[in-house]
């Protein structure tokens, strides 16, 4: 019986200190373009909203740091909650039969020299004008739209 109580106490202690698993939340539009976000200990809706605010300079109670040579470029912590702005989107961009491209929670389409985007239930917005460059437009979307790279490392497309 004593061993069972000790085992339960250790399990409770471990679960209280271990971080919640990360969830990929999708893309959020910021002052810098589109950022891929994952979160732990906070809802995705809040994480997407908070990353947009953080990129505007409104960190609130989030403490943020930049990463080098990591899967993420920025990590922000508030208590046990953690959000990360990812270097790459962990889901593929999907080209649809109508010529649009879905990447996570956004849909993109090209209209002559403009790239338009929208989230479900919202109006199309101007994402970028040609030439289309990362991060104003997600690289995965530009590749899925079959645009040709204009720069050696594929930062801008035409």
- Of 145, 53, 38, nearest to 89 by C-alpha is 38
Out of 45-54, 81-90, 148-157, which region has the weakest mean confidence (pLDDT)?
A: 148-157
Pairing relationship of beta strands 33-40 and 125-129 according to DSSP bridges: unpaired
Within the chain, residue ranges assigned H as helices are 2-17, 44-55, 139-144
| Whole-Å CA distances, 15 to 4, 9, 10, 11 | 17, 10, 9, 6
Full strand arrangement of the beta sheet holding 81-86: 23-30, 33-40, 81-86, 72-78, 63-66
| Bridge pairing between strands 106-111 and 101-103 | antiparallel
Q: 104-146: per-residue pLDDT in tens?
A: 999 999 999 999 999 988 999 999 999 999 889 999 999 999 9
List phi, psi (to 5°) of 64: -115, 155
What is d(CA 46, CA 25) in angstroms, rounded to the nearest whole number? 10
Q: What is the pLDDT of residues 36-70, one digit of tens each?
A: 999 999 999 999 999 999 999 999 999 999 988 88
Cis? peptide before 131, omega within 30° of 0: yes
């Amino acid at each position: 019986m004593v061993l069972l109580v000790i085992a339960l106490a250790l399990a409770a202690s471990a679960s209280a200190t271990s971080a919640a698993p990360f969830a990929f939340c999708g893309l959020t539009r910021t002052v810098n373009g589109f950022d891929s976000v994952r979160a732990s200990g906070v809802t995705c809706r809040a994480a997407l909203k908070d990353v947009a605010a953080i990129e505007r300079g409104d960190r609130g109670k989030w403490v943020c740091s930049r990463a080098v040579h990591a899967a993420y470029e920025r990590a922000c912590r508030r208590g046990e909650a953690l959000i990360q702005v990812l270097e790459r989107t962990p889901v593929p961009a999907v080209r649809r039969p109508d010529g649009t491209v879905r990447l996570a929670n956004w849909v993109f389409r090209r209209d002559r020299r403009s790239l338009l985007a929208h989230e479900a239930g919202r109006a199309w917005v101007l994402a970028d004008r040609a030439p289309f460059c990362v991060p104003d437009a997600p690289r995965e979307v530009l590749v899925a739209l079959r645009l040709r790279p204009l720069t050696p490392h594929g930062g801008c497309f035409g």
